[in-house]
Amino acid sequence: MAAFRYVAVDRSGHTLKGRMEADDAAAVVEWLQRQGHIPLRAEPAGGGLQDLLAMEFGRRRGLSRGEVASLIRELGIMLGAGQDLDRALRFLGETATSAKVRTVAEDLRNRIRGGATLAAALAHHPDSFPDLHIGLVRAGEAGGSLAATLTRLGGLLERQRALVTTVQSALFYPAILVVAAGSSIALLLTYVLPQFVPFFTQSGAPLPTSTRILMTAGEVISQGGPWVLLLALAMGAVARAALADPERRRWWDRRLLSVPILGGLWRETLAAHFTRTLGTLLGNGVALTAALGIAERTLGNAEARAVVSTAAAKVRTGAGLAASLADGRLFPVRMIHLLRLGEETAQLPEMALRAADIHDDLVRTRVQRMVSLLVPLITIVMGLLVAGIVASLLTAMLSLNDLVM
């Protein structure tokens, strides 16, 4: 017998981590399922130097979100069409456009041919497949609905990726405008303006206040630019270290959620992500408390995770999900209302997914409106700044002409 480490979710939604002796990883998974837990990971337990080497040198960057979504979606399609798992993974490996995808597909196939389940094989790639994926696949294998589960998971990942891509694409053009505006202004202050400085200083004439301010700004940018950049990097490193503390991170995330406009947009995004994950888990037969525990860990905001964790604790005592989430005063009222309706009509998975669709659309609409206002605003501000610099130079030159006359 060998030692194995395992990670599972119990019926209350708590994460269980432990170590046990067993013949193989499948025996560990079977034992966890008999205890009523949802196994997420079961792998051989290393020790000492082996763990140190794995920690320091064994971490590799996993697949991107798009690659994971495509792999899972195509695998679900082929299994639904009657292909066996071995042939489906072989096809994915042969047709993969990325070397990383090919390597992962081949490794999954080899592990499955060696007797491992798909969930156990996925658990060996934690950088690519988080606990949510492993838990859903495990539930699908136990219920005999692996193809349908993979299809649902693929749809979940595609919708999440589409939402992120929409936001990133919408903000790309404003970001380019900001960079172009900043670069143009910096070029005027550090290259164009210094060309006129000798004429101004030789004339001895008093310069307009705006011109003197611009000359000072150009000197600061030229001489202090590298130091400002180093200071910004140092402050970023300090902030990152400070936010490693859970309490500080929660305080910071709470403040971000209260930022005007952007805070509301982030709340809608969290609502869409949470309800889609929850609805997918519940639709695959995962118990509510366990689904809340898994959905909590997929949220990228510490304050939101704390609210869901508190709500899950109340649900375990018999309280309603919608009322428990409403007490946190974080998620939008529309999401709370739809979840309450789902509880009352015994259609919580369906209503959770409906809420996710609604909040997805709201996020897209808000982002489009924000960009439609932001782009002309950036353009106007850039034009005013450049016009102000040019006007200041012309004013100084005209003052020199008046001095000569």
Q: Would you write out the chain's pLDDT as a tens digit for each of its 405 residues?
A: 567 777 776 666 566 777 777 766 777 777 777 777 766 666 666 544 344 333 333 344 678 878 888 888 888 888 888 888 888 888 888 888 788 888 888 989 888 888 888 888 888 888 888 877 887 888 788 777 888 888 888 888 887 777 777 777 777 888 888 888 888 888 877 777 777 767 766 666 666 777 778 777 777 777 776 777 788 888 888 888 888 888 888 898 889 888 888 888 889 989 998 998 898 888 877 888 888 988 888 888 899 999 999 999 999 998 999 999 999 899 999 999 999 999 999 999 999 999 998 998 888 888 888 888 888 888 888 888 888 887 877 777 776 655 444
Q: 56, 79, 94 — which closes off a domain?
A: 56
Would you say residue 309 lies in a domain? yes
pLDDT at position 149, please?
84
DSSP 98: S
Distance CA 300, CA 280 (A): 18
Measure the CA dihedral 51/53/56/59, to 10°: -80
* pLDDT tens per residue, range 63-88: 887 888 888 888 888 888 888 888 88
Would you say residue 101 lies in a domain? no
* pLDDT tens per residue, range 302-324: 999 999 999 999 999 989 999 99
pLDDT at position 127, please?
84
Would you say residue 84 lies in a domain? no
400 and 270 housed in the same domain: yes
231 and 354 housed in the same domain: yes
C-alpha separations of 283 from 160, 278, 352, 375 in Å = 17, 8, 10, 41
Q: 56, 76, 103 — which closes off a domain?
A: 56
167 and 45 housed in the same domain: no
pLDDT at position 303, please?
92
| Residue 404 burial (C-beta neighbours within 10 Å; 0-12, 13-18, 19+) | exposed
Would you say residue 95 lies in a domain? no
User: What strands lie across the sheet with 2-9, from one edge to the other?
Assistant: 15-22, 2-9, 38-44
pLDDT at position 404, please?
47
DSSP 43: E
315 and 168 housed in the same domain: yes
pLDDT at position 237, please?
86
CB 76 within 8 A of CB 82: no
319 and 183 housed in the same domain: yes
CATH of the domain at 259: 1.20.81.30
User: Which token pair is 348?
Assistant: 């919580």
Distance CA 269, CA 321 (A): 19
pLDDT at position 401, please?
59
Would you say residue 131 lies in a domain? no
* Helix or strand holding residue 177 (H, E): helix 146-187
CB 398 within 8 A of CB 198: no
Q: 27, 56, 85 — which closes off a domain?
A: 56
Structural domain boundaries, residue 296: 160-405
Task: Name the residue among 402, 397, 383 with its Cα closest to residue 210.
Answer: 397
214 and 329 housed in the same domain: yes
38 and 167 housed in the same domain: no
Distance CA 217, CA 240 (A): 30
pLDDT at position 48, please?
43
Number of H helices, E strands in the chain: 17, 3
Domain count, the chain: 2
Would you say residue 104 lies in a domain? no
Would you say residue 134 lies in a domain? no
Distance CA 113, CA 12 (A): 34
Q: CA triplet 206, 208, 213: central angle to 5 degrees?
A: 110
pLDDT at position 377, please?
87
246 and 391 housed in the same domain: yes
Distance CA 296, CA 309 (A): 7
Would you say residue 152 lies in a domain? no
pLDDT at position 59, please?
41
Task: Name the residue among 134, 136, 117, 118 with its Cα closest to residue 126.
Answer: 134
23 and 169 housed in the same domain: no
